[in-house]
Amino acid sequence: MHVPDADVLSPLTLDGHFTFHDAPAMARDFGNRCSLLPAAVLHPGSVSDIAAAVGHVFSLGERSPLTVAARGHGHSLMCQSQAAGGIVVRMESLRGDRLQVVHGGGVPPFVDAPGGELWINVLHETLRYGLAPKSWTDYLHLTVGGTLSNAGVSGQAFRHGPQVSNVNQLEIVTGRGDVVTCSPEENADLFYAALGGLGQFGIITRARIALEPAPKMVRWIRVLYSDFASFTEDQEMLIMAEKTFDYIEGFVIINRTGILNNWRTSFKPQDPVQASRFQSDGRVLYCLELTKNFNSDDVDTMEQEVTALLSRLGYIRSTLFHTDVTYLEFLDRVHTSEVKLRAQGLWEVPHPWLNLLIPRSSIQRFAKEVFGKILKDSNNGPILLYPVNKSKWDNRTSVVIPDEEIFYLVGFLSSAPSLSGHGSVAHAMNLNNQIVEFCEEADIGMKQYLAAYTTQQQWKAHFGARWETFERRKHTYDPLAILAPGQRIFPKASLPLSL
Ligand code: FAD
């Protein structure tokens, strides 16, 4: 690999600075399965620093191998925020004092957030005004620019769409080093390109995110099903209903002992006696997870609505559990697990995750093959499974989704703490490959989310009819293919196409 010497960067006068000693730390990500050493790390002191650095690389022309990767919180799975021999921009250096909540004055409330800001900080700041963003990810220690470059999906997406559907405006540094403000009304092509754009068209330095009044509390409910068809039927009924829950997700539980006992540490059973008799081992079970927002003055209404909605569902009656928590506690729930896993040394292990979007028409067939055969005996981590509505996804963005009105997000969130056996990367990858092969052979119209393809051919197949637009936008906004090289979509001429 060609590593440019520091002199190449010396013409730049910056508010922030470059460092070289922390390059190895930027060659890591949450996936923990690959490592690309950058030449330098930019800690921008301003948006102009990012524009100057990208503009400088652009001015070096196509013969220079230098690339630039924005790094959010480095929670990618397969090198997406890394740059071999290039410049990594630590977007978190730009966060903090520029978070600005705007409300009143007859306009819907919004927050202007730096691209490197963590969603948890956006939440803390907006809650001070009794407001919050509408659409989330399950985990909030991710950056605004990082999730908006993918999609940002969680249990609110059925109602509000993914996070990319809840942005009013972006400020972007393009691959030419220009700083451009864009929105549906102004530079709309760049706006939609960057949303779900995998960092290919520019570096998001600021996002204007729509807000709504934040509830104080949520009732957080879990129930179990043993029948996949009734589980998904209820999920679909709930996401389509006018009066429904505020968050709807689900997960698959394969052969776990004492599942309800584990829930008791944080949830209350509706019927403790029946719940204690329930056996989960040896079975495949499906957990529907729901929340209903409320404030202290509308507890009775919330209770009535929840009771009415639950009465329409076909879950196993003895498995109804609930708890009431603050909105903040609910949204930050995965961080609580992170703290526990870190204490056990189980957070910074390899994560061979696989995230799929499966059309509704194939989900029963998919479940039969995957949960009934491929994963029958083992899996190593949570499996998420919940439906969303295509109508809430703006098809002008770069996000690729299946071509059906309802599709399911299915996330196999495996950890691989051991070097061999069931807890290894090799084992998880073998299962992932079998799942992908089944989808491809059965031609069920699956699309990968957070995909880690390694050849342009694979990316072309992923984008399908939308490739032409994606490629045209790349030529317009980053013609030298400087940005986000770790996605391995457009290689800079002098770089190898695959690792
Ligand atoms: P990075 O991983 O640092 O960057 C991701 C990509 O975007 C890279 O290509 C990078 O170059 C580019 N990029 C980063 N910042 C910018 C910017 N400002 N402008 C332009 N490009 C940029 N996703 C969901 O949708 N829903 C979930 O519920 C969800 N839960 C998760 C839970 C955990 C524990 C983890 C680790 C991830 C989860 N994700 C989820 C995936 C998450 O969306 C991705 O990890 C995503 O990459 C965001 O992480 P990041 O902010 O650290 O960005």
What average pLDDT does this structure show over 107-124?
Answer: 97
pLDDT digits (tens, 9 = 90+) for 478-496: 999 999 999 999 998 644 4
> Which pLDDT belongs to residue 282?
83
Q: Please tell me the predicted confidence (pLDDT) of residue 496.
A: 43
In the numeric block, which tokens belong to residue 204? 């998001």
Residues 231 and 183 in one domain: no
- pLDDT higher than threshold 90 for residue 4: no
Same domain, 244 and 265: yes
Nearest CA to ligand 1 atom 23: 152
Quote the number of domains for the chain: 3
Q: State the DSSP code for 280.
A: -
Mean pLDDT of 236-245: 97
CA distances from 131 to 101, 111, 167, 292, 405 (A): 9, 10, 15, 17, 30
Q: Per-residue pLDDT for 383 more than 90?
A: yes
Mean pLDDT of the chain: 94
Q: Is the same domain home to 261 and 113? A: no
Predicted local distance difference test score (pLDDT) of residue 497? 42
303 catalytic? Reply is: no
Q: In angstroms, rounded to a whole number, what is the distance separating the alpha carbons of residues 4 and 81? A: 19
Identify the pLDDT of residue 96: 59
Q: Which of 33, 50, 80, 81 to mutate to test the pocket of ligand 1 (most atoms within 8 A of CB)?
A: 81
pTM to 2 decimal places = 0.96
Q: Domain ends where: 158, 190, 213?
A: 213
Residues 249 and 331 in one domain: yes
- In short, whether 387's Cβ falls inside 6 Å of ligand 1 is no
As a whole number of angstroms, the longest Cα–Cα distance in the chain is 73
> CA-CA distance, 32 to 34, in Å (whole number)?
6
CATH of the domain at 150: 3.30.465.10
SS3 308: helix
Query: For position 51, what pLDDT does the model report?
Result: 97
pLDDT of 6 above 80 = no
Residue 282 lies in a domain: yes
Burial of 99 (0-12, 13-18, 19+ CB in 10 A): middle
Does the annotation count 246 as an active-site position?
no
pLDDT tens-digit map of 290-328: 999 999 999 999 999 999 999 999 999 999 999 999 999
Same domain, 308 and 427: yes
Average pLDDT over residues 459-476: 97
**Is the residue at 457 inside a domain?**
no
Query: Does 155 sit in the ligand 1 pocket, CB within 6 Å?
Result: no
Q: Read off the tokens for 33.
A: 């399965």
Domain that holds residue 47: 6-90+474-487
pLDDT digits (tens, 9 = 90+) for 22-45: 999 999 999 999 999 999 999 999
- Decide: 71 in ligand 1 pocket, CB within 6 A: yes
Q: Are residues 307 and 389 in the same domain?
A: yes
Last residue of a domain, one of 193, 213, 233: 213
Same domain, 478 and 343: no
Q: Is the CB of 200 under 6 A from ligand 1?
A: no
Query: Considering the domain boundaries, does residue 231 fall inside one?
Result: yes
Convert 470-482 to b/e letters by CB count within 10 Å (16 or more is b): bbebbeebbebbb
Classify residue 307: in a domain, yes or no: yes
Grouping H, G, I as helix, E, B as strand and the rest as coil, residue 459 is helix
pLDDT tens track for 395-421: 999 999 999 999 999 999 999 999 999
C-alpha pair distances (Å), 478 with each of 289, 313, 356, 484: 42, 50, 28, 10
- The reply to whether 95 falls in a domain is no
Residues 6+ apart with CB under 8 A from 300: none
Catalytic residue among 29, 92, 234, 249: 249
Cα 172 to Cα 133: distance, rounded to the nearest angstrom: 21
Residue 223, SS3? strand
Q: Is 487 in the pocket of ligand 1 (CB under 6 A)?
A: yes
Residue 40 CA to ligand 1 center (angstroms) comes to 21
Instruction: Clarify whether residues 125 and 238 are in a common domain.
Output: no
What per-residue confidence (pLDDT) applies to 492? Answer: 86
Give the integer Cα–Cα distance in Å for 474 and 190.
10
Average pLDDT over every residue of 64-70 = 97
Domain boundary among 172, 189, 213: 213
- Position 97 scores a pLDDT of 66
Distance of CA 41 to the CA centre of its chain: 24
Contact 385, 286 (CB under 8 A): yes
If asked whether residues 282 and 396 sit together in one domain, one would say yes
More confident residue, 231 or 377: 231
Q: Are residues 174 and 264 in the same domain?
A: no
Q: What angle do CA 164, 165, 168 make, to 5 degrees?
A: 90
| Spatial CA neighbour of 120 closest among 144, 153, 89, 149 | 144
Residue tagged 């299915």 (tokens): 410
Nearest CA to ligand 1 atom 42: 147
| Residue 249 is among the residues annotated as catalytic for this protein | yes
Both tokens of residue 37?
A: 């050493």
Ordered DSSP codes for 99-158: -EEE--TTS--EEEEETT-BHHHHHHHHHTTTEEES---S--SSBHHHHHTT----TTHH
